[in-house]
Amino acid sequence: MGVRCSQCHTVFSLEEEGTEHHACPTCKAEAGLEPVTGVPPAMRMFGAVLGLVVLVAIAGDLVSRIAG
Ligand SMILES: [Zn+2]
């Protein structure tokens, strides 16, 4: 599981799950560590837009083929 330090924004992974105390390897902060879940929203948005563009391109190609 990855976590992000809210103080220096370093993203690192926790080696041992279930350990009570975690500390940031960069600034040694033990508080304000937020779990990182999957893909960042900005990246997800980019993927959605890219998918939409590809979909429109395929649809446009099909329509132009059918229309002759
Ligand atoms: Zn830190």
The band of 68, judged by pLDDT with boundaries at 50, 70 and 90, is: confident
Within 8 A by CB and 6+ apart from 8, the residues are 24, 26, 27, 29
Higher pLDDT, 67 or 57: 57
Using a cut of 0.85, tell me whether the model's pTM lies above it.
Answer: no
Interval between CA 18 and ligand 1 midpoint (Å): 20
Phi, psi of 33 (to 5 degrees): -90, 120
pLDDT tens digits for range 2-56: 889 999 999 988 776 555 678 898 999 998 888 887 777 788 899 999 999 999 9
Count Cβ atoms within 10 A of the Cβ of residue 35 and give its class: 0-12 exposed, 13-18 middle, 19 or more buried: exposed
Distance (Å) from CA 24 to ligand 1 centroid: 5
Distance 54 CA to ligand 1 centre (A): 39
The pLDDT assigned to 1 comes to 74
Rounded to the nearest angstrom, the distance between the alpha carbon of 12 and the centre of ligand 1 is: 9
**The pLDDT of residue 19:** 57
* Contact (Cβ atoms closer than 8 angstroms) between residue 8 and residue 27: yes
Ligand 1 centre distance from Cα of residue 21 (Å): 14
